[in-house]
Amino acid sequence: MPRPSILWPVRSLAVLGIVAVTVAVAAPASANPLKSADVTVTFEAARNILPTDGWSSVSAVVRNAGPVPARGARVTLTMPAPFENYGLSTSSDWDCVHTYPAVSFDCRYLRELAPGAKAEAARITPQLRGATVGQRLTGRATASTPRETNTGNNADEQVFQVVGNGLIEGVFWHDVDADGVREAGEPIVDPVHYVARSVDDEDRYGWSNNFGPYRIQVPAKRYSVEVELSTQRWRFTRPNVGSDATDSDLVPYSETTYYQYGRFGPFTVDVNRPTVIDVGLVATS
C-alpha cells in the first residue's frame, strides 16, 4: 500500500516575526594588494662644493621600485640662479624640454620601465655666474607616473656650497742620502703622476710628469693627495722624520711590480694660506 505524502506547512517569515536581512559579506583580503609602479628619483652631482665660477654635471636618475612596469614616467630638474645652463645630455629614451640660461628640464620617458630597472640618466651642465662665497644653493629633482600609490620617494634635493679658492704647493726632491730630510744641494726632480682628489665630491686636480716646484689653485675643501712613482726610477723616502719645512709628507701605502703609491691627507685647504706638501724620492739606480 503506498505511503501517504507528508505536506509541511509553509509560513511567511514575516508571519513568524523573522525579518530577512541581506548581509554584504566582504571578500577575504587578497594576499597581494593592488599592484602599481613606484618610480623613485635621485639627484646626483659630480661636484657640490664649488668656487664662485665653478661648474658641475648633475643628473636625475629614475628607477622603478614597484612590482609592475612603469608607463609614462616623467622627471624634472631645476637649479636656482646664479647657475646657468651649459648643455643637456639624454638618451633617445627621453623626450626633453630644457630652458636656457635658467637651469631646468622636463623629460618624458618614451619606453616602459621594468620593475627594478633604472632609466638612463638625464644630465645637465650648470655653471655659476656671479656667485658669492658662502652661498648655499639647492637643486631639486622630481619624478612621477600617471598612476602611483607611493609618492614619498618622488623628489630629491642636492645642496651646493660656494667657497673661495686656496693653494696646494710644494716640491719633489731627490733625497740623495735617503735620510728623509731635504738638505742643501739635494735637487728638485719630477714625479710620475700627481692627483689631489676631493674627499666630499668627485672633484680632482693634477698632472703627469711635471717638473720643479708646483702650485695648484683649488676650491677650499677637503682633499687627499696621491702620487704614483715608477719603481724603475724612484721610491719614496722615509716620511715625517723632521720638521714640516724639511721632511717628506707622503706615506707609501701600496706597491705593484712597476709602481709605488704614496698618500697625504685628508686635509682641508685654507683660503688664507697654502697647504705645503713636499715629497722626497730616492733613486732606484
pLDDT digits over 84-118, tens only? 999 999 999 999 999 999 999 999 999 999 999 99
Which amino acid belongs to residue 171?
V
In a domain, 32, yes or no: no
pLDDT tens sequence across 191-219: 678 999 999 999 999 887 666 688 999 99
Q: In angstroms, rounded to a whole number, what is the distance separating the alpha carbons of residues 167 and 23?
A: 81
- CATH code where residue 208 lies: 2.60.40.10
CATH number, domain of 134, equals 2.60.40.1510
Which of 143, 162, 181 is where one domain is finished? 162
Q: What is the pLDDT of residue 35?
A: 76
pTM score: 0.81
| Three-state secondary structure string covering the chain | CCCCCCCCCCCCCCCCCCCCCCCCCCCCCCCCCCCCCCEEEEEEECCCEECCCCECCEEEEEEECCCCCECCCEEEEEECCCEEEEEEECCCCEEEEECCCCEEEEEEECCCECCCCECCCEEEEEEECCCCCCCEEEEEEEEECCCCCCCCCCEEEEEEEECCEEEEEECEEECCCCCCECCCCCCECCCCEEEEEECCCCCEEEEECCCCCEEEEEECCEEEEEEEEECCCEEECCCCCCCCCCECCCEEEEECCCEEEEEEEEEECECCECEECCEEEEECC
Distance CA 155, CA 149 (A): 15
- 180 shares its domain with 146: no
pLDDT in tens, 239-269: 999 788 899 999 999 999 999 999 999 999 9
| pLDDT classification of 19: cutoffs 50, 70, 90 | very low
Range of the domain at 244: 165-283
Is the pLDDT confidence value at 6 over 50? Answer: no
> Among residues 134, 162, 190, which one ends one of the domains?
162
125 and 53 within one domain? yes
- Asked if residue 115 belongs to a domain, the reply is yes
20, part of any domain? no
End position of a domain, from candidates 128, 147, 162? 162
The answer to whether residues 155 and 173 belong to one domain is no
Q: What is the pLDDT of residues 154-174, one digit of tens each?
A: 999 999 999 999 999 999 999
**Residue found under cell 712597476:** 258
Task: Looking at the structure, tell me whether residues 133 and 221 fall in a common domain.
Answer: no
Q: Are residues 101 and 138 in the same domain?
A: yes
Residue 68 forms part of a structural domain: yes
Asked if residue 69 belongs to a domain, the reply is: yes
- Considering the domain boundaries, does residue 194 fall inside one? yes
Which pLDDT score, from 0 to 100, does residue 147 have? Answer: 82
Kindly state the average pLDDT of the residues 272-283. 95
Mean per-residue pLDDT, 66-70: 93
Contact, 69 vs 115, CB < 8 A?
Answer: yes
Whether residue 178 is found in the same domain as residue 244: yes
pLDDT of residue 234: 93
Give domain status of residue 3, yes or no: no
Percentage of residues in the chain having pLDDT higher than 90: 78
- Does one domain contain both 170 and 158? no
How many structural domains are present in the chain? 2
Chain segment 214-230, per-residue pLDDT in tens: 899 999 999 999 999 99
Per residue in 134-144, pLDDT tens?
Answer: 999 999 999 99
So what's the pLDDT on residue 172? Answer: 93
Q: What is the mean pLDDT of the chain?
A: 88
Instruction: Let me know whether 208 and 129 are in one domain.
Output: no
User: Are 139 and 104 contained in the same domain?
Assistant: yes
